[in-house]
Amino acid sequence: MGEGFVPNNPNPGWGLDRPNPFQPPTAEHRYPPAYDLFFPRRTPSCPRPGSTLQINRPTTTPYEEFVGLTKEERRALPHSNDMKIIHEGRPDLEVGFYQSKFKVGDHGAVHDLYYTVKANGGTKTEKTDDNALKMMRSIVDMPNRDNVRWFEDGTYQGGTDRGFEAIHIYDLDKKVIAVFKKSTGKFVTTCELTAKEDAELKATGNFGGGKGWFSGQVKNLPPQQTAVNKFESDVTGITPISPMDENSSPGFTPTSSFESDVMGITPIDNSQLDNP
């Protein structure tokens, strides 16, 4: 490549004054500045869609303070979509948008959001604004359900170095919990409890941190059958359609399932079409 290719102006465009991640570190091996036009650097303020949780600095928060915040502290920053839980006789709580969007990927399934099943058996819900808002509305509605219990003097991961005092709202029918930090009233997490976790919560007010909690065992498993699903299966004989595994393709469409379960028609599996 001749020298005539290199622009005389060292800064002819917006991208040329920004470091290039592909640029060799030593001066004698550096590419011509024009390469920056083709490989502009991605900055932290412009992440790829879905790669990171975009959190904007509030105008009331100084820049020096904002950059010093931990990820957890940043997710607790205010957002215009934050929601409140105000229930007579109970502490006021807040369901933050940033924290909800962070949690919806693993825990949206227990709030009836669409999910796929990952290779490790855990659920995955897309981290979109819409899904975060749907989960938030579900959490805000929890105190209005028929069979709900509050734990105002509870703990989260009690007995560990990560434990703290918490307020829990627990749906006894669905076995779904919403955890709030007692000192701030802010939403922390939500999930479906196992039988062991359910018994511990009712006996001690603590959720999480027990034996095997930090073992890497998958905790966001697909939701257990609800009362409605059990009724359909046991009484009507209709098997509810499960969400699709992200690594598999469905053998039957919902229509085919209806034909098989209700009308007694057995549809042809797609794999059979490939065989003569």
* Assigned domain for 72 exists: no
Q: Considering its fold, how many domains does the chain have in total?
A: 2
Indicate whether 193 and 118 sit together in one domain: yes
Least confident of 113-122, 134-143, 232-241: 232-241
Which candidate, 167, 174, 255, 147, places its Cα nearest to that of 207? 167
Indicate whether 184 and 92 sit together in one domain: yes
> What's the average model confidence in pLDDT over 110-139?
95
Indicate whether 129 and 181 sit together in one domain: yes
Q: For residues 250 and 256, is the Cβ–Cβ distance under 8 A?
A: no
Specify the CATH number for the domain of residue 96.
3.10.450.200
Which candidate, 119, 108, 123, places its Cα nearest to that of 190? 108
* Assigned domain for 178 exists: yes
Indicate whether 177 and 231 sit together in one domain: no
* Assigned domain for 259 exists: yes
129-141 helix and 97-107 helix, angle to the nearest 10 degrees: 90
Q: Please say if the pLDDT value at position 230 is more than 90.
A: no
Domain of residue 169, residue span: 83-207
Instruction: Tell me the pLDDT tens digit for each residue of 146-169.
Output: 999 999 999 999 989 999 999 999
* pLDDT at residue 261, rounded to an integer: 44
> What's the average model confidence in pLDDT over 227-232?
40
* pLDDT at residue 212, rounded to an integer: 63
* Assigned domain for 203 exists: yes
Indicate whether 122 and 200 sit together in one domain: yes
Instruction: Tell me the pLDDT tens digit for each residue of 186-198.
Output: 999 999 999 999 9
Q: Which helix (H) or strand (E) holds 187?
A: strand 187-192
* pLDDT at residue 218, rounded to an integer: 75
Q: For residues 177 and 188, is the Cβ–Cβ distance under 8 A?
A: no
Indicate whether 92 and 201 sit together in one domain: yes
Indicate whether 181 and 111 sit together in one domain: yes
Indicate whether 172 and 236 sit together in one domain: no
* Assigned domain for 219 exists: no
